[in-house]
Structure 1
Amino acid sequence: MKFIKRYTSIIFLTGLALFSCEKSITNPGNLVIETGTSFGECLENCYQSIIFNTSSTDIEFVVKDYQTVDQTGIQRFNDSFTEKEHQEILDTIDFEEFSSLNEDYGCPDCADGGAEFIKITDRITTGEPSHMVTFEYGKSVNGIEKLITLLRKKREELSNQYINQ
């Protein structure tokens, strides 16, 4: 009986150690999400992104011109989600599914077709990107279609408000 208890304890501790080393998104309240678009062959507004922390409705909207190497050509705007928009995005994110996706889909920014991306950073564990998914501009990725639609809608709304006036 002692042997079985000891053996079970060893298996449990080994499994716990392996699981804790796995890189995964752990706490949705401590995530930073960045989503955006980029086009390699353009002159202005070539890169647009929104950045937000899942614990707040605040958004930073960033627009960059082509080949910006310093702060010139970068515009930053502060805005926010409505409570409903914010909650809908949080409810839509399936962290396990997102983490299991490939990093690239299709041929992002090939022949200047543009690229879209979603990057989720877990600030608590490493501060490094937990996962980033890049795909062709205007396309979708199976499993996160609704998330893409919601984030795209907000990005377009901010672009129309601040850039395409």
Structure 2
Amino acid sequence: MPSNNQQYVQPPKQNKVKSATTQLRGAYQYLQPSYWKRKIWHLLFVFPIVLMIDEVIVGGLFSTSPLLPVAVIVALALAVVSAYFYPFSLYWYKGSFIGRVLNGMFYFGGFWAVIGKIIATIVGGCLIAGVLAPIAGPLTLKKARKNNWVLGEDKDFD
């Protein structure tokens, strides 16, 4: 039986901001390093277009003049979140139904028409993954954490 003179040390309270920051930094440990470094180059193309798409969507919601600066800030915040979760969202897109359908299509026509359609499919897939990144990215990350997966493409694991 412990005596009343003993003092117990309470565990330190976790700082919620520090905990969230640590979780955000630790998210990329669920991605193969070569995979996410390759996908960063996609962001040079995807980020400005996703920002424009987010501005159109959010601008439609906040269409009154006094709320326009709020719309720009919300659109920028969504684009930054999209940029962070883009590698996770792209991984989700490639395994999703729409990704499999678009990437498995057969193209008919002339040589340059087929090349153009293939490029449009690739660019469209990147944009779909970029726009849906604030939703699909965290869900994919949650699934990877739950199952302790390291995400990447086949060539990343060779």
Task: Classify the TM-score, shorter chain.
Answer: under 0.3
Greater C-alpha radius of gyration:
2
- Relative to total residues, which structure has the larger helix share, 1 or 2? 2
- Relative to total residues, which structure has the larger strand share, 1 or 2? 1
The structure, 1 or 2, with the larger RCO (C-alpha pairs under 8 Å, 6+ apart) is 2
